[in-house]
Structure 1
C-alpha cells in the first residue's frame, strides 16, 4: 500500500507494502458551505513540534511506472519508431518524417514527466499526545496544514456521497479534511482502523 507508519525513534517504517516511494487534501467546513483548504485560507501553519511525534504516517499516490521503467519505455519506444524509418535512409522522405517522429517522442516525454510531478505529493500525519498535524506537500502549489487536539478528533469514512468511495476524513473542531483520497476504497477502510487505533493509544497516555 502507498503509505507507511514511521517509527520516530529509528526512522524505520513499522510496516509498508509500497512498491515505490515518492518523496486531496480538500478541507470542508463541517458547518456547511463551500469546500476549503486545510488551512482555511488565511489560518497560520501548524506550530513546530517540540519533540518527535508518537506516531507518523506518510501517504503518497500510486506510481505504476518507476523511474527506471520510464527511461526504458522511452528508449524502447524510440527504437520501435525508428524501425520503419530504416527503409527511408538516404532519401528525402527521412528528413520529412523525422521532425514528426521526434515531436511525438518529445510530447510523450513531457506528459510522462508531468504525470510524475503530479505524483510527487506527500501527505504527512504526525501525532503527539496533546496535538496532531496533517501536512500536504503539493507538487504544484503551496504546502497545506491542519492541526487539532487528538482527543477530540473523529476519523470519519463516507461509503457513499463523497468524491470517492469510502471517502476518509479527519474532523477536528469545525473543520474536516480528507486523508488518502488517492488510495483505493479498501486501503482507506484499513487506514481508518489504523488511525483510530493510534488515536485510542494516545488518549490513554
Structure 2
C-alpha cells in the first residue's frame, strides 16, 4: 500500500446540513394558502372603502415570502468531515458559498464534548494544540451524539494506523 492510497482511504466521511422540514413544493402550497387567506381577509375591507388595509396585507405576504426565501438560502450551507488514516479534513461552506477548510493530524486531534443532563450533547468540537473548531452544529443533540460516537471510533482506528493485508 503506497502513501497516496492512505490519503484516499476514507475511514469516516459525513456531511451535515441544516434541517428543513418544509420542501419547496410545500412552501409554494403554504404561500398560496397564506395569500388566499390574506386576500379573503382584505376583500371586505376594500369593499367598505378601507383600501389601505390591502397594502398592509400585501406587505405581510411579501414579508412571509422573503422570510422563507432567506430560510431556504441558509439550508444550502453544509459541513464535510472526512477522516483518512493520515489526515482529518473539515470543510464548512456558508450559504453564500464561502469555504473554510481545516486539516488535522488524527494522532493529535481530540474530540471535546459538552453535555447537558437535560438536553444531551450540546456542543462538539475538534481540538488540536491551539486550534478549536466546533462541528456538527446543525444536528440535534441525539444525532450529534451519534455523530460523535462514530467519529470517536474512526479516530481510534486512524490512531491505530493502517492495516496491511498479508498475502
In structure 2, which of residues 137, 154, 167 is the aligned counterpart of residue 198 of structure 1? 154
Aligned partners of 2:104 and 2:153: how far apart in 1? 17
1:63 matched residue in structure 2: 20
Aligned partners of 2:153 and 2:89: how far apart in 1? 17
Alpha-carbon offset, residue 76 of structure 1: 0.4
Instruction: State whether residues 170 and 177 of structure 1, in contact with CA within 8 Å, keep that contact through their aligned partners in structure 2.
Output: yes
Q: Give unpaired runs (5+ residues) of structure 1.
A: 1-48
2:41 matched residue in structure 1: 84
Aligned partners of 2:62 and 2:9: how far apart in 1? 45
Paired residues in the alignment total: 153
* 1:124-177 alpha-carbon deviations (Å, 9 max, x no partner): 0111111111010011473111111112221111125xxx95310111232111
Choose 1 or 2 for highest CA Rg. Answer: 2
1:43 matched residue in structure 2: none
Aligned partners of 2:67 and 2:122: how far apart in 1? 30
Q: TM-score, normalised by structure 2?
A: 0.79
* 1:1-21 alpha-carbon deviations (Å, 9 max, x no partner): xxxxxxxxxxxxxxxxxxxxx
Q: Which has the higher helix share?
A: 2
Residue 74 in structure 1 maps to residue 31 in structure 2: yes
Instruction: State whether residues 130 and 150 of structure 1, in contact with CA within 8 Å, keep that contact through their aligned partners in structure 2.
Output: yes
Residue 100 in structure 1 maps to residue 63 in structure 2: no
* 1:53-98 alpha-carbon deviations (Å, 9 max, x no partner): 4432100112132211111111100111111334456x47374332
1:187 matched residue in structure 2: 143
Q: TM-score, normalised by structure 1?
A: 0.65
Paired residue secondary structure (1:156):
strand
In structure 2, which of residues 92, 97, 114 is the aligned counterpart of residue 158 of structure 1? 114
Residue 142 in structure 1 maps to residue 98 in structure 2: yes
